[in-house]
Structure 1
Amino acid sequence: MSLLEDDLEQQGILSITATDFDDDEGMPDYVGYVNENENPELRIENVPEGAESLVLVVDDPDAKGAVGFTFDHWLVWDIAPDVGTIPRDWDPAADGATVGYNDFVEADFGGPSPPDGAHRYRFKLLALDSELGLEPEARKAVVDMTAGMEAEVLASTQLVGQYEPSQGTAF
């Protein structure tokens, strides 16, 4: 069973919010891949006791119509559970987290660039009872499998932002 491919069910009271947009609302232009390509500031609250790490995945399920699969924009694991705030244009490695490769084949945040209309971008967050300890070359499938088999998911949540092609130049 995949933890990270579909929408995450709310488990526990873990929460993720953005300072520049509300759930299921439009994201600011600066997040766009052809604009500043910077992640938005995110606030994380109510991490459960016993959590040893967090996993953050940002993906675009609406890309299936254009590219045939859910497009991964950001993949970060082994985030400290006391992070509280992920700042705009965050460098996860500077805080000891590991960044995996997105579908732009970059180990970084890859902002939205929808080619065919407004798309939804899911900011999915898992609180785990252990660190994953994976190498940065790992992709979402490996993180998903490792989290499902070698860790216990203590809580999960997601935030959804929307982005329009008119906010930047689409590929």
Structure 2
Amino acid sequence: MEEASVPSIELASPAFAGGEPIPPRYAKGNENLSPPLEWGMPPARTESFALVCDDPDAPGGTWVHWVIYNIPPDVRSLPEGMPRDAELGDGTRQGKNSWGHLGYDGPSPPSGTHRYYFKLYAVDGMLDLEPGATKKELLEMVEGHLLGRGELMGTYRK
């Protein structure tokens, strides 16, 4: 996906700073809550947002923890503990993570420190994806429609 030429959107969490440890309450073996996320103004013509969280340090390759899309363009944050519903009241849809679950599942590294990337995409339309889409399907739909991108990385060690 061509990302280098798109504007940057600030993505942050009140729960942890970029590059810092993700608190245990957001880990799969604990409360397994999705962390609160906040972002800045998107580029003009943004019609929806999508977000992916993944761990590139997983032993078998990148492990996907969250796929969420068709977030309305006026939304600037996701609260802690998002429900795991396939479709939310505002039209937001959730895809499947690498466990095959809908919604967020937090860090659960086998050993060592892993990096978890939350990647926000500003898109020029709603994505024609049913609930339960994969990261691969999402990124294929975003291709050619990306207007801006934000990223937040946190770490977790078991």
Scaled by the length of structure 1, the TM-score of the pair is 0.85
The equivalent residue for 1:145 is: 140
Shift of 1:95: 3.0
Per-residue deviation at 1:10? Answer: 8.1
Q: Deviations over 1:8-61 (max 9, x none)?
A: 658314111000111111111110001000011111112112100001000000
For 1:25 and 1:156, the matched residues in 2 are separated by 20
1:127 match: 122
Length-normalised TM-score, structure 2: 0.92
Q: Which runs of 5 or more residues in structure 1 are unaligned?
A: 166-171
The equivalent position to 2:94 in structure 1, one of 75, 90, 99, is: 99
Instruction: Report sequence identity in percent.
Output: 35
Q: 1:118-139, CA deviations, whole angstroms, 9 ceiling, x for partnerless residues?
A: 1000000110101102011321
Q: Which residue number in structure 2 is paired with residue 73 of structure 1?
A: 65
Structure 2: tracts of 5 or more residues without a match: none
Higher helix share: 1
Cα 1:56/1:26, change in 2 over 3 Å:
same
Instruction: Kindly indicate whether residue 150 of structure 2 is the aligned counterpart of residue 157 of structure 1.
Output: yes
Superposition deviation, residue 94 in structure 1: 3.2
Alignment of 1:1-171 (within 5 A): 2=1, 9=4, 11-63=6-58, 66=59, 68-91=60-83, 93-148=88-143, 151-165=144-158
Q: How far 1:89 sits from its partner (Å)?
A: 0.5
Aligned residues: 155
Q: Distance in 2 between matches of 1:159 and 1:95?
A: 24
SS in 1 for 2:25: helix
Given that 1:10 and 1:156 are in contact with CA atoms closer than 8 Å, whether structure 2 keeps it comes out as no
Alpha-carbon separation, structure 2, partners of 1:106 and 1:9: 31
Moved over 4 A (4+): none
Q: Deviations over 1:89-119 (max 9, x none)?
A: 0236233211000001100101000102010
